[in-house]
Amino acid sequence: EAQVTQNPRYLITVTGKKLTVTCSQNMNHEYMSWYRQDPGLGLRQIYYSMNVEVTDKGDVPEGYKVSRKEKRNFPLILESPSPNQTSLYFCASKEAGGGETQYFGPGTRLLVL
Work out how close the CB of 28 gets to another protein at its nearest, in angstroms, rounded to a whole number.
Answer: 16
Question: What is the sign, positive or negative, of the torsion defined by CA atoms of 36, 111, 26, 55?
Answer: positive
DSSP-assigned beta bridge partners for residue 71: none
Of 4 and 80, the one with the shorter C-beta distance to another protein is 4
Q: Rg of the chain's alpha carbons, rounded to an integer? A: 13
Could you tell me if residue 65 is left (phi over 0), alpha (psi between -120 and 50 degrees) or otherwise beta?
beta
Of 14 and 50, the one with the shorter C-beta distance to another protein is 50
Among 5, 71, 104, 111, contact with another protein (rule: CB under 8 A) = 104
Of 15 and 110, the one with the shorter C-beta distance to another protein is 110
From residue 79, give the alpha-carbon distance in Å to each of 26, 28, 101, 107.
27, 28, 31, 20
Among 5, 19, 22, 44, contact with another protein (rule: CB under 8 A) = 44
The stretch among 15-23, 30-38, 64-72, 73-81 that binds another protein (CB under 8 A) is 30-38
Closest CA to 93 of 112, 75, 72, 109: 72
Residues that bind another protein (CB under 8 A): 31, 33, 35, 40-45, 48-50, 56, 58-59, 90, 92, 94, 99-107
